[in-house]
């Protein structure tokens, strides 16, 4: 039983053991800190593609300069008779140097341990120069060259997340940007998965270093010339000096490319508002016109009704007068007719009476 238990323990997987990646964050690295909304794999591809595109352009210019220098050196060598063994050894050294340069990657993704935060280290001597080249080009052209990346911050120094290491790295870094001429600055502090570092302490310490470098430096939180970015991620501190940080939309690639679209949207919205206002004004005018027309029509109708009533009254009066005339004429005619009839009747009665009397007298005579 003991042997079986030992075997089970022997073959039991070590769940507590976490395999370390080949590449990890170290003190003194420089690179680019990128943010995204999930889709981290696609964001890493976008970052590689963007960096290689712009670094390739500058590398081609450097290669052209080196080719010109090599041609000049080759012309000088041709003039001198050089041994074949020396030329072969030089070619072998060049090939070895190319192999070494190919093995060392200029850009390498390093895991931060925090979601939506990507760090890509670089062997480029000045990461800020390359980062500003990308940001300025996108701000001018307004061409969206990344689908998933949001912020793209060039990081000059990586240090441990404690006050002593941060201040020592910051004093060296600030010498280049704040010691010569007085400038306005602000300090942007962000913290991820770390509760030991306090925001107020870091800002006070870094501001004191900036003022020591040049007393003419002034703090400006709205539109500073240089923004000092402090990103605390777990046990690491990423320091960056970002010129025109707020001018370039906090180095947000999506906002830089959509700035022109937003203006067109604002213009279209304003035009729509103007059209709506014009429509409302036309509706008000059209609503007022019928009211005026109805009021004028009502007045006209009232006048017409009054005139009609007066005409009706006149017609009625004329009809009454005509009826009265007719009624007055009818009795006269009837009276004359009756008188004539009476006269006729009286004549006929007299004649009849005469005839009767004559007949009676004839009878008596007989």
For the stretch 239-292, pLDDT in tens is: 999 999 999 999 999 999 886 554 544 445 555 665 666 666 556 545 554 445
> What span, in angstroms and rounded, lies between the C-alpha atoms of 18 and 202?
32
Q: Is the pLDDT of residue 57 over 50?
A: yes
Q: Are strands 226-233 and 184-192 parallel, antiparallel or unpaired?
A: parallel
Q: Which of 162-166, 198-202, 279-283, 358-362 has the lowest mean pLDDT?
A: 279-283
Residue 242, CA distances (Å) to 50, 74, 173, 216 in order: 19, 43, 12, 19
Average pLDDT rounded to a whole number, residues 311-322: 68
Cβ proximity of 170 and 237 under 8 Å: no
Q: Residue 197: which pLDDT band, with cuts at 50, 70 and 90?
A: very high
| Nearest alpha carbon to residue 166 among 238, 245, 242, 243 | 238
> What span, in angstroms and rounded, lies between the C-alpha atoms of 294 and 269?
37
What pLDDT sits at residue 219? 94
Specify whether the backbone of 142 is left (phi greater than 0), alpha (psi in -120 to 50) or beta: left
What pLDDT sits at residue 23? 78
């Amino acid at each position: 039983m003991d042997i079986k238990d030992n075997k089970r323990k022997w073959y039991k997987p070590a769940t507590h053991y976490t395999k370390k990646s080949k590449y990890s964050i170290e003190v003194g690295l420089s690179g680019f800190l990128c943010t995204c909304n999930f889709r981290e794999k696609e964001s890493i591809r976008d970052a590689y593609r963007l960096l290689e595109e712009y670094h390739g352009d500058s590398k081609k210019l450097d290669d052209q300069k080196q080719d010109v220098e090599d041609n000049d050196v080759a012309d000088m060598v041709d003039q001198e008779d050089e041994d074949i063994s020396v030329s072969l050894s030089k070619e072998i050294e060049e090939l070895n140097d190319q192999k070494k340069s190919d093995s060392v990657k200029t850009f390498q993704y390093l895991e931060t341990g925090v979601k939506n935060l990507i760090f890509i280290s670089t062997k480029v001597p000045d990461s800020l120069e390359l980062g500003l080249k990308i940001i300025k080009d996108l701000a001018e052209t307004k061409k969206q060259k990344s689908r998933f990346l949001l912020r793209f911050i060039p990081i000059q120094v990586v240090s441990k997340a404690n006050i002593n290491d941060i201040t020592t790295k910051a004093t060296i870094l600030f010498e280049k940007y704040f010691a010569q001429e007085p400038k306005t600055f602000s300090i942007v502090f962000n913290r991820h998965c770390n509760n030991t570092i306090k925001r107020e302490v870091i800002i006070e310490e870094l501001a004191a270093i900036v003022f020591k470098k040049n007393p003419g430096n002034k703090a400006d939180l709205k539109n500073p010339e240089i923004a000092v970015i402090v990103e605390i991620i777990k046990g690491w501190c990423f320091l960056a000096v970002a010129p025109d940080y707020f001018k370039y939309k906090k180095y947000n690639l999506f906002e830089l490319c959509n700035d022109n679209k937003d203006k067109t949207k604002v213009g279209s919205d304003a035009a729509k508002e103007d059209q709506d206002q014009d429509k409302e004004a036309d509706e008000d005018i059209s609503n007022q016109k019928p009211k005026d027309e109805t009021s004028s029509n009502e007045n006209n109708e009232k006048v017409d009704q009054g005139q009609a009533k007066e005409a009706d009254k006149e017609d009625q009066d004329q009809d009454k007068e005509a009826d009265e005339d007719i009624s007055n004429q009818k009795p006269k005619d009837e009276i004359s007719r009756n008188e004539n009839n009476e006269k006729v009747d009286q004549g006929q009665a007299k004649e009849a009476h005469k005839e009767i009397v004559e007949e009676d007298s004839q009878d008596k005579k007989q």
